[in-house]
Amino acid sequence: RAAAEALIWLDGRVVAAAEATVPVLTHSLHYGSAVFEGIRVYDGRIFENEAHMQRLLQSARLLGYELPYTVGDLCGAAERLLAEMGLRDAYIRPLAWRGSEDIDITGANTQPRVMIAAWAWPNYYGGSDAEPSVRLTRAPWVRPAPDMIPLQSKASGHYVAATLNRQYAKQKGFSDCIVLDAQGRVVEATVANIFLVKRGRLVTPKPDGCLDGITRQRVLALAREAGIEAEVTDIYLDDVANADEVFLTGTAVEVMPVVQVDEHAFAIGPVTRTLRAAYDVLTGKRPA
């Protein structure tokens, strides 16, 4: 096959993207019960493939359905797709959903389906003086409470608010939103976790109100290795305003400095730089 041809791994087969279609009576299309992942590929190596596929299975389980694959099956499927598409620096998007066998809202008689897509995502080495950074504004839509919807499930339904928040940010000329919960605690950005640095120490929200991101967990481990203290606690907008550094973590944004949150400006500081460099070594983006 030609390297650039768009292919989809769909329920065990690799097919042309045009053939990968779903019926309009798909349960998940109506009720938001799909679950998905975002995975990065650095120079041909799928980064954290297992952790993401494990979370995909768990996300479906939290919504009451079981995918008919093991973590190993799904990791292998992603590897196969990548090889067939000839991609080396890429983004992989697995999606699982309840099928079209039963439109009843319980979804009880639906068959689980899985697809994996991939597209090129160039990895620029972040060593130039044009450092990437983002500016955030307060989100108009709050994150639901943990008793409203299973927050550790990366369920499509969650991303209704993310879409609205991101649109709002763009309209205001910002890159993204800082998302609060109904109690006014800062929980995350639309698709990334948030960290503050205060007097050399890291502060990040407890993972009860946010997705406990894989990058968040790796960055906390890297901080430990680097001797940087970390506190996992409730944070409020005042804490953000008084922080020395602010950064986001996520598969897509990696370790991303935040240079503005509404009227507050932040410099890109030493702790952010240290952790970003360490994360870049982990991904293979930067030589060890």
The Cα 149–Cα 131 span in angstroms is: 37
- Between 249 and 272, name the residue whose CB sits nearer to ligand PMP: 249
The span of 80-88, 116-124, 207-215, 221-229 binding ligand PMP (CB under 6 A) equals: 207-215
- Between 154 and 285, name the residue whose CB sits nearer to ligand PMP: 154
> Hunting for tokens 């990548």 — which residue is that?
82
The span of 4-12, 91-99, 205-213, 277-285 binding ligand PMP (CB under 6 A) equals: 205-213
Tell me the closest approach of the beta carbon of residue 115 to ligand PMP, in angstroms: 18
- Between 160 and 267, name the residue whose CB sits nearer to ligand PMP: 160
Tell me the closest approach of the beta carbon of residue 113 to ligand PMP, in angstroms: 21
Maximal CA-CA distance, the chain = 56
59 binds ligand PMP (CB under 6 A): no
94 binds ligand PMP (CB under 6 A): no
**Is residue 241 within 8 Å of 261, Cβ to Cβ?**
yes
The span of 86-94, 191-199, 232-240, 278-286 binding ligand PMP (CB under 6 A) equals: 191-199
144 binds ligand PMP (CB under 6 A): no
49 binds ligand PMP (CB under 6 A): no
76 binds ligand PMP (CB under 6 A): no
259 binds ligand PMP (CB under 6 A): no
Active-site residue set: 154
191 binds ligand PMP (CB under 6 A): yes
**Is residue 238 within 8 Å of 186, Cβ to Cβ?**
no
Those residues with Cβ within 8 angstroms of residue 78's Cβ, 6 or more apart along the chain or in another chain: 9, 39, 46, 49, 53, 92, 94, 116, 118
Both tokens assigned to 226: 């680097």
257 binds ligand PMP (CB under 6 A): no
Among 87, 250, 255, 271, the residue binding ligand PMP under the rule CB under 6 A is 250
Both tokens assigned to 120: 């090129």
Q: Residue count at the site for ligand PMP (CB under 6 A)?
A: 15
The span of 25-33, 64-72, 75-83, 244-252 binding ligand PMP (CB under 6 A) equals: 244-252
Q: Which residue is nearest to ligand PMP (CB)?
A: 213
38 binds ligand PMP (CB under 6 A): yes
- The Cβ-side half-sphere exposure at 112, using a 13 Å CA radius, reads 20
- The Cβ-side half-sphere exposure at 206, using a 13 Å CA radius, reads 8
Residue numbers at the binding site for ligand PMP (CB under 6 A): 38, 154, 188, 191-193, 210-211, 213-216, 249-251
